[in-house]
A and B are shown apart, each in its own frame.
Chain A
């Protein structure tokens, strides 16, 4: 009997990341397997404040190009187009070029490739410095500011560096932007509106003003003298007291798997389904019901039951309110009785990938126990064993919160874990906020994973969930 989790879906052909602790996808895989946070004490200019963060201090495009771009003409183009651009645009161009190179796109293929840029208010750090310089001396204003101040600069620059000149979509969405961009790209490809799509999440660069506001809101706790910045982000732990931001960029190329195979590439994995919802509410407070609706939509989009999900890459930022809301939502979707609600929502959603499974999946809900092969577990800490349901971890504990880029970076992290058969540690999860979820402990968990769900939630009530799968050729 065929396993419906092996349905086609849309392939992620290649990926690229840029994080202070990982300049390549291979390095990201190593960081995840190591399971140690990469956060550092980071001074906030002018504020007399130190916060936990992962910052790309002194990122130099020229040296990035020397070590990651073999083609001299490509290096020159990168420098000419993006050398003087803002940090978001410089990082976007680097990861975009790396993802296109890894996907082995020909010039002709690049020409009809569409581009989706994830994130809004990307260059707040630059904006704040420009405004301060202007306040001190209006004569400092430059005509070139007109390029730097709009997020669309990333779209133009990525196009010029990669040669991609299909459709172009800047997609905002605050902390859910990365997931929304990936969903939009997948829909375009699944609908045949684009042969392939390059999704790029630039660094979402905050200014000291936004950092100060996070601190005032109680969503970020400054590092005190002698404090441990690396242990500052503790998603799902009772002691969680705030987020740590990360300057991180990512890019993926999305296309039908057959296209990747035609170019002789083994895809990183597949996008099987997605679901989004809004809370119809202004503000920053998360809403468990909206999160449940997004996850159930994503499952029904690809005809899977909650019990088909082996692993959940949670949004979990380490903020108390957010973690508690998501934990409650996960318990509702995946906990005892959660699966009975399967299929109750969105029978009519416009599902990409649903054709691979169709309604026959509803008759197969008893098939496929997630626990059948999950025996090789290194993690033994209390609370993690004897609980059914998918493994749950939060990549933000290791990398920090990439804001607009988080959803895309975490989708890549999820695909790496699916391919590698592991769930990375939750390094500072000692006392989980709930006892009915199967949290990974402070040790890596090895398990044969096939299907995962990745959550991204944002201010203003935006919820997005992705169902991701291993590459078909990796499936047993």
Chain B
């Protein structure tokens, strides 16, 4: 799975959980907290994305509060290569 595909799925779940976002608010340097996501929202975004991508990622992945770009990198690293 390419980085772009992961980015697309992640952004879809960000929009799905947070709704009501402007296009320019979603970019790799953005942090979920700054988009108004509370801890439960962040969990819903991570779990939704991971489930759709069929990945196994420890829930502690959000502890360091990565940027959206950092989160996509992390997911990519956990991606099983075919």
Contacts and interface: CB of A to CB of B under 8 A. Distances in A.
B45 to A, nearest CB: 10
Given A62-B20, A84-B19, A147 B36 contact: no
Interface residues of B, number: 12
Contacts of A142: 17, 40, 44
Which size bracket describes the interface of A in this complex? 10 to 19
B68 to A, nearest CB: 17
B17 A144 contact: yes
Contact of A84 (B20, B43, B47, B51): B20
Contact of A144 (B20, B36, B44, B51): B44
B50 interface: no
Nearest to A81: B36
Interface in A121-148: 139, 142-144, 146-147
Interface SS, B side: helix
A83 B20 CA distance: 8
A79 interface: yes
A49 B66 CA distance: 49
A80 interface: yes
Interface in B1-45: 17-20, 36, 38, 40-41, 43-44
A62 B18 CA distance: 14
Contact of B19 (A83, A139, A143, A146): A83
Nearest to B51: A139
Interface in A346-397: none
Contact of A143 (B20, B36, B44, B51): B44
A81 B43 CA distance: 17
Q: Choose among A79, A139, A143 the residue with the greatest number of B CB atoms under 10 Å from its CB.
A: A143
A255 B51 CA distance: 52
Interface of A: 62, 79-81, 83-84, 139, 142-144, 146-147
14 contacts: A62-B20, A79-B20, A79-B36, A80-B36, A84-B17, A84-B19, A139-B51, A142-B40, A142-B44, A143-B43, A143-B47, A144-B41, A146-B40, A147-B38
Given A139-B51, A142-B44, 20 more contacts: A79-B20, A80-B36, A81-B36, A83-B19, A83-B20, A84-B17, A84-B18, A84-B20, A84-B36, A84-B41, A142-B17, A142-B40, A143-B41, A143-B43, A143-B44, A144-B38, A144-B40, A144-B41, A146-B40, A147-B38
